[in-house]
Chains A and B, each alone.
Chain A
Amino acid sequence: MANSMNITLKVWRQAGPDVKGGFETYQVPDANAHMSFLELLDVLNEQLIKEGNDPVEFDHDCREGICGSCGVVIDGVAHGPQKRTACCQLHMRHYRDGDTIVIEPWRAEGFPIIKDLVVDRSAFDRIIASGGYISANTGAAQDANSLPIAKADADLAMDYATCIGCGACVAACPNASASLFTAAKIAQLSLLPQGDPERKTRVKSMVDQMAEEGFGDCSNHAECEAVCPKGISISSISRMRREYVKAMTD
């Protein structure tokens, strides 16, 4: 069949958090150009199970690029070669018969490895819990149209709000910084009038929490923006910095 391809995979295997890991090489002879990248891993896993071996663990759920569960480094690039695409949405038509593909987990101090390609990203939840919200108890809201918001602001807020929390930005950053993720939320909420009352405390707590989790500082490499599956712009990071300076100086 014209679409079929033989792929070699070098996959990071690590039995648990505190044990040494290493690469294993596998052959998938019946890959197909229409498959998604995760379907290729499914096929590999079925093969491994049939042979009596343990399958490769990887996180996934929606397989539509929206839940942020999936995420592996493919040939050195977080989420792989296709721009603005989470690896669950990457398709094998981007590869050729006979290719070798290297697959690794996110590597960052803030994301300890759980098993194989699965990492612990709960630090992201703690960053949001430190201030990434608008305090609005259920039931107290006024009519939704009582507060018009300029379309341009609403659209830009939406651009930042589309972050899926996958962690690719951290994996790609030479400093393992979580700035793009954190800044995306700060930028979204700073553009909306509802976010105004808490803007100062929000930026301070979130930035502090990010440091506490062991993520590094941002030194403008912009690798994060390049791999972000949602195309979150690093303009968010300048916004975060401005918000931070304002919060510290007032």
Chain B
Amino acid sequence: MSTVLDSKIPAGPLKDKWDNYKNTIKLVNPANKRKHTVLVVGTGLAGGSAAATLAELGYNVKSFCIQDSPRRAHSIAAQGGINAAKNYPNDGDTVWRLFYDTIKGGDYRSREANVHRLAQVSNNIIDQCVAQGVPFAREYGGLLDNRSFGGAQVSRTFYARGQTGQQLLLGAYQAMSRQIGAGNIEMLSRREMLDLVVVDGKARGIITRNLVTGEYERHFGDAVLLCTGGYGNVYYLSTNAKNSNVTAAWRCHKRGAYFANPCYTQIHPTCIPVSGDYQSKLTLMSESLRNDGRVWVPKKQGDDRHPQDIPEEDRDYYLERRYPSFGNLVPRDVASRNAKMATDEGRGVGETGLAVYLDFADSIKRLGRDVIEARYGNLFEMYERITGENPYEVPMRIFPAVHYTMGGLWVDYELQSNVPGLFVLGEANFSDHGANRLGASALMQGLADGYFVIPYTLGNYIAGNSFSAITGNEEAFNEAESAADARIQKLLSIQGTKTVTEFHRELGQIIWDQVGMSRTASGLRTAIDQVSALREEFWQNVRVPGEPTTYNKNLEFAGRVADFLELGELMARDALEREESCGGHFREEHQSAEGEAMRKDEDFTHVSAWQHTESGHVLHKENLDFENVQLTTRSYK
């Protein structure tokens, strides 16, 4: 039966909610913290910062990651920067503006109270990272430098060259390492969480597989923090790292946690185009490039002249033309959709026609090559390495690619899912970005969740609950471990004719075509049928090589693709159900005469949270109440 979900938003005016919450929560006696074990799955910005902070507070922490070291989590790849409302440039930024931009950028599909809290703690994040020795970019006076990013008219983005995620993650990793050295965190790398264990209605443990030996392990404690990142790899080709997956979240979903807004996915406008069918992933070029690069295509269809031979009057700087006030800095969804429109009209460039130009010639003329090099040197280098072309001389070719998933497990204000004791942080939850995320705000959210939110909300949960003694031998553990093993045995026993990668590619193509930048009811219905047929074929015809007891990447990937094959169908269902266009979710049936997205606030100002049941998915709703901002049509004109 469908219910209305309670997000547990604290009382009081928006700006006081977080303080009110902190003033009234229960606290854990410092001497008792050591007795509470917390399982933190994932070591990206969310998990790394949470594990370090909870260990500093005295909790007994166990951390898990797939890679051989916590430092390699996917967060490492973030390039552009992290937002904060410091207003160091004195250009009029405030906590309110950061809040407002994020709500507006999310197309009014996120929760006011969460987003406001995020904006409030954003400043603490920068302070914390600097104290850890994160080498952010600085001005000649020695103070921190800022840049601007899509969807904002102030400069509020802090950065460390084109490697902001790396430096922030290394900060969190080092803080974690300090606690590992001190014996407060037990780090278990090369582990994959395969199931959540719920005992007496509370999340109390997980089943992991040691990826080197294949052994199953049972870990238990008083709470589980899921910090396992996003599900963009359902598209096969995405900018996510190859190990990024939905498995941990999906297994929690199958144990009762609701999956919210799965159809909200973000397609990033500035990626290096696909070059061939062997392509294994896509590379993002930070959107900070749009500060100085101008996007254009030829005015005429099929104009295959060299870009330098196309004179100004034959070029269409379509973003500047259609959105004069934001120009090349419109939000991601708008930029991506416009690129698709240009290529659909046959005005795409490059060998495949699936690309548009991002041109730096004017900026180089205006600022000099050295300034451009200082700003984007490593990105230009990366582009040249991949494409063999020099972007100082020839305009870059770019095309949208899947980049981020706003959907994820449903959580309340405390970041707790509907399964008590299961908290979800970072990209794995759905909470702060609505239907579209603004640039430089995922790093902010991951670190806000881990450094500044969970220490309070977890404490409130632990202090307010009692925990029966467990040993890991309870029936729930036995059942979960046998189920995990049965799946692995099944995958290895099929020995069909198609590889895991072949299935993954096919799935990705279906989702990209039908649940990508633009969606229709009939396309979504097709996708549901195609994905379910593919899933059936997978379980009859997949070929997984090797042994369960040695390092076996294909076996790992097989399990993840199996879960993507279930998630993909739910994404299409969610997209079908949402009869409006909002943010990254564009339904062709719901657009204005000029092709702009049209929301339907009277029917869809809610979160769609899906419950998994034996007989199928059930939809629950959380109504979004806007008490502080007025819903308007996003306009970047």
Contacts and interface: CB of A to CB of B under 8 A. Distances in A.
Contacts of A61: 67, 72, 74, 241-243
A60 B138 contact: no
16 contacts: A62-B72, A62-B74, A64-B77, A118-B551, A128-B177, A129-B180, A131-B181, A138-B451, A139-B124, A141-B131, A144-B86, A144-B129, A149-B138, A157-B135, A158-B167, A165-B72
A177 interface: no
Contacts of A132: 174, 177
A46 B175 CA distance: 40
Interface residues of B, number: 78
Contacts of B385: 82, 85, 89, 91
Interface of B: 49, 52-53, 56, 67-72, 74, 76-77, 86, 88, 124, 126-133, 135-144, 160-161, 163, 166-167, 170, 173-175, 177-178, 180-181, 187, 189, 212, 241-243, 275-276, 278-281, 283, 382, 385-386, 388, 451-452, 455, 499, 501-502, 543, 545-546, 550-554
Contacts of A157: 133, 135
Contacts of B180: 125, 129
Contact of B72 (A43, A69, A151): A69
Interface in A72-109: 82, 85, 89, 91, 93
B283 A135 contact: no
Interface string A108-150: 0000001100101110110011111111111111111101111
A195 interface: yes
A121 B143 contact: no
Contacts of A130: 181
B135 A137 contact: no
B382 A65 contact: yes
Given A64-B77, A144-B129, A189-B133, 6 more contacts: A57-B551, A61-B72, A69-B72, A125-B189, A133-B177, A145-B88
A138 B88 CA distance: 22
Contacts of A64: 77, 283, 382
A141 B163 contact: no
Interface stretch (A31-39, A213-221, A233-241): A31-39
Contacts of B278: 32, 35, 39, 42-43
Contacts of B129: 144
A53 B133 CA distance: 48
Contacts of A115: 550-551
- Going nearest first, the 7 A-B pairs with the smallest beta carbon separation are A148-B142, A133-B174, A141-B131, A129-B181, A141-B127, A136-B131, A158-B135
Nearest to A133: B174
Contact of A194 (B88, B132, B382): B132
A147 B131 CA distance: 9
Contacts of B53: 138-139
Given A63-B281, A129-B177, A130-B181, A144 B170 contact: no
A7 to B, nearest CB: 13
A72 B180 CA distance: 28
A82 B385 CA distance: 10
Given A67-B72, A154-B137, A136 B242 contact: no
Contact of B276 (A34, A48, A195): A34
A218 B308 CA distance: 51
Contacts of B174: 128, 132-134
A125 B132 contact: no
A188 B135 contact: yes
Contacts of B68: 59, 69, 120-122
The dominant DSSP class at the A interface is: loop
A154 B135 contact: yes
B280 A66 contact: no
Contacts of B52: 138
A194 B132 CA distance: 7
B562 to A, nearest CB: 17
Contacts of A174: none
Nearest to A118: B551
B139 to A, nearest CB: 7
Contacts of B144: 144-145
A157 B276 CA distance: 39
Contacts of A38: 280
B235 to A, nearest CB: 15
A35 B278 CA distance: 7
A45 B555 CA distance: 13
A15 interface: yes
B192 to A, nearest CB: 13
A180 B67 CA distance: 22
A149 B138 CA distance: 8
B181 to A, nearest CB: 4
Interface in A14-70: 15-16, 32, 34-36, 38-39, 42-43, 45-46, 48-50, 52-55, 57, 59-69
A125 B499 CA distance: 34
B386 A91 contact: yes
Contacts of B499: 46, 49-50
Contacts of B140: 151
A161 interface: yes
A55 B553 contact: yes
B70 A133 contact: no
